[in-house]
Amino acid sequence: MKTLIVDDNADDRKILRYVLERRGCEVIEAADGEEGLTLAGNHGPALIISDALMPRMDGFQFLRKVKIDPELRTIPFIFYSSVYTGTKDEQLAMSLGADAFVVKPKEPEELWAQISAVLDRGKPRGVSIKTGLLAEEEQYLNEYANIVTVKIEEKIRELEQARYRLEQSERKYRNLFTSMRDVIFVTNLDRTIIDANQPALREVFGYELDELAGKNSRMLYADDDAYNLSGREFFNLKGYVEGKTIEVAARKKNGEIFSGEIFAFKLLDELGNPTGNIAVVRDISERKRAEQALRESEERRLKLQT
């Protein structure tokens, strides 16, 4: 059975395609009603399943055009959509000739059962063109406008709330990022610098971020040996690698060399694949000098004892 799916959400189309193809259906996809109307005319599907709110031509407009087209009006039409205005969505869809209004989301078996119920009825629902759609066009437009307005208002509120949460999250991340005393470098897998925290970057290396962004991290090392060492130990390794601490000679903007300790770990995507590197750099020159002084003191003590 050739079935036309019309939905602007690619993930929803993918799920619906999976449900239908498992039952032997041939699936055609469209991202909005305008594209769906063209495909319906070209392919003559045996069933149409459509979302409600979509760009260019939404599901209600699409259904309306299908039901006034003599070549298409006998095709069973199912809405598979979220409910945004209580029962008005379903009432409007059914008044325009839809055969069913199925509320998202549904488990595959339940969804197929409702599709099958429509197909088992045989003859699709319809409305009289003269006394239905055309005579009630003004009422339809008013009801439709109310539904779309409510949905748009909800979407705006959702976007505003999401933006606020994102801004709060980013602000907390930035506050934590900038408060760290160690320098935190974010690089891509080619060791190109993407981000670093201030004021630590300025205090440790003497750089502003715009002097480093987009450049290779080689300029932060005392020499090629130090750069290549950290590459062999961690940064040039492919795939997931456990975090590692590396001691190298680092170079400040003014050319001063200092002892640096790098704690390096991979930046991972949602699948666990490395997408970049994080390097937390600490100036350990004072610690190294203290360790050296302690060793020299111990050596002098041993000499005095002998």
d(CA 22, CA 20) in angstroms, rounded, equals 5
Instruction: Spell out the residues 6+ positions from residue 1 whose beta carbon is closer than 8 angstroms to its own.
Output: 24, 25, 26, 46, 47, 119
Q: What is the DSSP letter of 125?
A: P
Residues 249-299: pLDDT tens digits? 999 999 999 999 999 999 998 888 899 999 999 999 999 888 888 888 888
| pLDDT above 50 for 152 | yes
Q: What is the DSSP letter of 218?
A: G
Instruction: Spell out the residues 6+ positions from residue 87 whose beta carbon is closer than 8 angstroms to its own.
Output: none
Are domains 2-149 and 180-292 of this chain identical in fold?
Answer: no
Q: How confident is the model at residue 119 (pLDDT cuts 50, 70, 90)?
A: confident
Q: Compute and round to an integer the Cα radius of gyration of the chain.
A: 32
In this structure, of 137-141, 145-149, 154-158, the range with the lowest mean pLDDT score is 137-141
d(CA 11, CA 13) in angstroms, rounded, equals 5
Alpha helices in the chain (DSSP H): 10-21, 33-43, 59-67, 88-95, 108-121, 137-179, 200-205, 209-212, 224-230, 285-305
Query: Residue 289 is which amino acid?
Result: R
Q: Where are the domains of the chain?
A: 2-149, 180-292
Q: How confident is the model at residue 239 (pLDDT cuts 50, 70, 90)?
A: confident
Higher pLDDT, 134 or 209: 209
What's the CATH superfamily of 180-292? PAS domain (3.30.450.20)
Q: Give, for 277, the enclosing helix (H) or strand (E).
A: strand 274-283
**pLDDT for the residue numbered 130:** 44
- pTM of this structure: 0.49
Architecture of domain 2-149: 3-Layer(aba) Sandwich (3.40)
C-beta neighbour count of 100 within 10 angstroms: 19
